[in-house]
Structure 1
Amino acid sequence: MTHDDTIIALATPSGAGAIAVVRISGKDAIHICSRSFKSVSGKDLNKQKTHTIHLGHIIDNDRTIDEVLVSVFKTPNSYTGENVVEVSSHGSPYIQQEIIQLFLRNGCRMATAGEFTLRAFLNGKLDLSQAEAVADLISSDNEASHQIAMQQMRGGFSSEIAKLREELLNFASLIELELDFAEEDVEFADRKAFKDLIERISFVLKRLIDSFAVGNVIKNGIPVAIVGEPNVGKSTLLNALLNEERAIVSEIAGTTRDTIEDEISIGGIGFRFIDTAGIRETKDVVESIGIKKTFEKIDQSQVVIYLFDASKSIDLLDDVLLEIGKIKNKYPQKPLFILSNKIDQLDNMQLKTLQATIPEVKLLSAKTGIGVDELTDSLLNLINTGALRNNETIVTNARHYDALLKAFEEIQKVKHGLESGLSGDLLAIDIRQALYHFGEITGEITNDDLLGNIFANFCIGK
């Protein structure tokens, strides 16, 4: 696809609103807009300075479509690096479409998903990891994911990778130079300094790779399955966590026939709570389907909350221990929180018996709110937010993670080659591969298929 024409798209969400912004980018953007824009002060839009705003009307022949504000950004000082015009109109869907259709007739083309940001990348305004951070910023729905996206968009991650790549490239050049003087048997690259660099690169790559576990959780949230027998208060707990009546609460066992999901932010981290159908033997076909889905949701979750009714189970704690054992055996790697609900209905002696029998139990009354804050604190403690607090680089993108793994593998080959006295020509091969994977992250190495896959996930108009 050509990228030297002029593109247009609605930059604000579709539908009615107070205002709408239509964005145009390309070498003819200002000229195309000027043909249909009549300034209230009679200004010629083509002669205006960059980063200026002008009041006027969009005119189609003798028909006035709307009174608008037109913002002018001239190359190279714009988001895309091209001439950019943004038309701010009233938010009527009819007005939006009339303006867009008018400019399409005058020489614009509808932008594809992410094409404005793609042009920013192609024109050197952003590197590839920064461009991807734009999409992450738009989709961020909690404080932590917003913080990471902002850091990456400002170049925190890419600058760290670029610095390592530059240092490695310098050594690679010296080793390549040695190959030209192979007969003289000289070494231009200090092997000790090179080994120190490889150790430092390995350390940084390992830290970035390890950060993906936290980054993926921050970006996508943590799915938490709430399980237990029918009518123990799972839906009440979900409502207490969400602070709203999201799930139907009833004294009738089996009220929840399907899984109910909702997400909240705890300490800036997104948690997706899944209220499942109660697990029990039943002949009800619909309820049986719900119970089957319960086990599927446990498989998909990262954390399991097992809830039981303390008021009914105090004399049946052996049965509770049996159920806890089943979950631990089936999902040994998943964090398990054991919650005893309705503790407000127990006396002190019963509470002591409960805690002595199940030492890891957390006491809860979902109806009155007792123990809910302690539960949210415990969930937050599952996440290592130290790196986030220290403003360290955290990897959230699966593509970056894959490239880092491949780069780390090649760096380990280089390290092994240095230790075993491998010849310079063979070392150079592994170094080139490591440099290739570094370049994949920031966009020094790319292809049309990769760019297509990345920017296809953007929204139209960005």
Structure 2
Amino acid sequence: MFSDTIVALSTPPGAGALAVIRLSGAAAIALTASVFSKKSLPTAAGHTLHYGTLRDPNSGEILDEVVVALYRNPRSFTREDVVEISCHGSDYVVRQVLALFLRQGARLAEAGEFTKRAFLNGAMDLAQAEAVADLIASDSALSHRVALNQLRGGFSQELRELRGRLIKFAALLELELDFGEEDVEFADRTGLAHLLAEVRRVVAALLRSFELGNVIKNGITAVIAGRPNAGKSTLLNALLREERAIVSAIPGTTRDFIEDEISLDGLRFRFVDTAGLRDNPADEVEAIGVSRTRQRVRQAALLLYLFDLSEMTPAEVQREIQELTEGLDLPVMAVGNKTDLSTTEALAAFETTFRAEHSLTASSAPLVFVAANQQIGLDALQTALLAQVRGSALENTASATIVTNVRHARALETAAAHLAAVQAGLDTGLGTELLAADLRHALAALGEITGEISSEDLLTSIFTQFCIGK
């Protein structure tokens, strides 16, 4: 399909032990052979390794000792001839090798062009191609698992099956249009209604999975908020197991955000330590910090409201949570700190009173007790955090299809709307032409996910987000 041969660095830039330079295209093997010491390369079998040197044919200078991996089409990532050269990871060596192949007739690959060629050559569909980028970016066990499942075609297979069954009915409706004057029905309306109900259930389930998929892919931002000296910075340090934030007995020490990430049972959490909340800040800088805290809470996916058990009553805790989350649909955890200064009886009484309050926002929130400075109660806190965000679907991510891509979710929303229109048309006896039109739109939306229906603008938008060597 492509007449030119592309070349790029496929490993991260910067000095290292090794670097991998990849070529793909009809002339990839011939270009490599023209500068490689082993003259048998053009006749070598695919999936073989060859040790030798790269030499500039113009100057005769040896650039490096390398290992050449040879992949012949169609048994390669791009389904073209592919050569991967492992050289030493010096920036200078990499620049010299790339320049050498450019002089020999290759051109620099565009962002994502190797994966784009794999898609256009039929090695994978568009959803699988996007999973390549997700797999590279995965930074937790769950995001890796979901991306790998999509790369292996789990999501695509489910969509193909749905789309294939709808296509059969769409073809029968189109056939009816060809015989419109004869008033015949080839598509059984009852059968179509049953199929629509099933497909809509599957699409709805996929859309529901996007909320979970977004958490798996992007992690969850948990803001730690509360009054000054509640122990927010101490809790952040305890969760991260390092002295990330300055801890001081002086109220208002934290003036701006301090944040960092950890992985809990395969889920990525980004904890944000914020300025203490009080009505009368000590100065203008602290006042700005308090304002930013409230703004950051509005952007959070989860709020950890931390309070000093010795200073606040259950009613005060609930009142401040309500004030902080007013107008927000935000999961909240109430975290009572400094249990080492309290008794078991006092903690039990606090929890009983807290649960007895009628605040829907706070009384339904998990209540966890910790002593952050002594790292007591952290296991219980982490368990509660996971329970807040994971949901039952997370237990089956190894086999379940989970939508993590915003583009896929938008296409599913479009498909769902048109499928609902088809159902409404069946219920009201709508004409075949309108039913067929809505069904075509639904099929097109599903086809956009896997690339069965695509535009050059869409492909450009997707693949330019990839790194150059992929």
CA contact 2:298–2:328 (8 Å) conserved in 1: no
Rate the CA distance shift 1:283–1:418 in 2: closer, same or farther, 3 A.
same
In the TM superposition, residue 332 of structure 1 has moved relative to its aligned partner by 4.8
CA-to-aligned-CA distance 1:21-51 (integer Å, 9 cap, x gap): 0001111111111111102xxx421111111
Deviation of 1:10 (Å)? 0.5
Aligned to 2:448: 440
The aligned amino acid for 2:351 is: Q
Distance 2:380 2:343 in 1: 21
Counterparts of 1:393-404 in structure 2 under 5 Å?
393-404=401-412
Q: 1:54 aligns with which of 43, 46, 50?
A: 50
CA distance in 2, matches of 1:3, 1:461: 17
Structure 1 residue aligned with 2:288: 289
Cα shift readout 1:179-237 (whole Å, capped 9, x = no counterpart): 22223322222222222111111111111111111111111111111001112110111
Is 1:431 aligned with 2:439?
yes
1:409 lines up with 2:417 in the alignment = yes
% identical aligned pairs: 50
Aligned ranges for residues 1-400 of structure 1 at < 5 Å? 3-39=2-38, 43-61=39-57, 62-280=60-278, 281-311=280-310, 313=311, 319-328=316-325, 330-359=326-355, 361-390=367-396, 391-400=399-408
The alpha carbon displacement at 1:434 in A equals 0.9
Q: Which residue of 1 aligns with 2:359?
A: none
- Contact 2:414 2:445 survives alignment (8 Å): yes
What amino acid maps onto 2:46 in structure 1? T
State the 1:322 CA deviation. Answer: 3.4
Distance in 2, matches of 1:317 and 1:193, equals 58
SS of the counterpart of 1:76?
coil
Q: 1:29 to 1:275 in 2, by over 3 A?
A: same
Rounded to whole Å, the distance in 2 between the matches of 1:444 and 1:343 is 59
Secondary structure of 2:213's aligned partner? helix
Cα 1:52–1:331 change in 2 (3 A) is same
Sort the Cα spacing of 1:344 and 1:425 in 2 relative to 1 into closer, same or farther, 3 A: same
Structure 2: distance between partners of 1:221 and 1:436: 31
Q: Secondary structure at the match of 1:367?
A: helix
How far residue 409 of structure 1 moved from its aligned partner, in angstroms, is 0.7
Aligned residues: 455
Letter in 1 for 2:70: V
Q: Deviation at 1:348?
A: 3.9
Rounded to whole Å, the distance in 2 between the matches of 1:202 and 1:351 is 49
Instruction: Tell me, in whole angstroms, the C-alpha distance in 2 between the residues paired with 1:310 and 1:388.
Output: 33
Give CA-to-partner distance per residue, 1:291-348, whole Å, 9 cap, x none.
221111101001111111223x05x6654443233224x1552121111111101234
- For 2:405 and 2:395, the matched residues in 1 are separated by 20
Q: What secondary structure sits across from 2:37 in the alignment?
A: strand
Distance in 2 of aligned mates of 1:402 and 1:267: 29
In structure 1, the residue corresponding to 2:372 is in which secondary structure?
A: coil
Which residue is 2:360 aligned to? none
Deviation at 1:353, TM superposition (A): 4.1
- Kept after mapping to 2: 8 A contact 1:387/1:393: no
Task: Kindly indicate whether the alpha-carbon contact (under 8 Å) linking 1:232 and 1:309 is maintained by their aligned counterparts in 2.
Answer: yes
Cα distance in 2 for residues equivalent to 1:292 and 1:237 = 21
Instruction: Report the more deviating stretch, 113-122 or 377-386.
Output: 377-386
- Identify the residue that residue 421 of structure 1 maps to in structure 2: 429
State the Cα distance separating 1:436 from its structure 2 match. 0.9
SS state at 2:389 partner: coil
The whole-number CA distance in structure 1 between the counterparts of 2:321 and 2:460 is: 48
For structure 2, list consecutive stretches of 5 or more residues without a partner in the other structure. 356-362
When structure 1 is superposed on structure 2, of 278-287 and 18-27 the one drifting more is 278-287
Match for 2:340: what amino acid?
A: D
**Cα distance change of structure 1 residues 128 and 321 upon mapping to structure 2, 3 Å threshold:** closer
TM-score, normalised by the number of residues in structure 2: 0.93
Supply the AA of the counterpart residue of 1:224. A
Q: Distance in 1 between matches of 2:68 and 2:185?
A: 62
C-alpha distance in 1, partners of 2:353/2:194? 55
> For 1:389-437, what per-residue CA distance to the aligned partner results, in whole angstroms no more than 9, with x for missing partners?
3321110111000000101111111111122222222211111111111
The two structures, once aligned, show a CA RMSD in angstroms of 1.6
Contact 2:48 2:69 in 1 (8 A): yes
Describe the shift of the 1:321–1:387 C-alpha distance in structure 2 as closer, same or farther (beyond 3 A). closer
Aligned mates of 1:146, 1:60 — CA distance in 2: 41
| Amino acid of the structure 1 residue aligned with 2:427 | E
Instruction: Single out whichever of 192-201 and 144-153 deviates more from structure 2.
Output: 192-201
In 1, Cα distance between equivalents of 2:343 and 2:96: 71
Tell me how far 1:352 sits from its aligned partner.
4.0
Q: CA separation in 1, counterparts of 2:54 and 2:332?
A: 61
Q: Per the alignment, in what secondary structure is the counterpart of residue 382 of structure 1?
A: helix
How far apart in 1 are the matches of 2:284 and 2:255?
Answer: 10
Distance 1:176 1:347, change over 3 A: closer
Find the aligned partners of 1:25 and 1:190 in 2 and give their Cα distance.
50
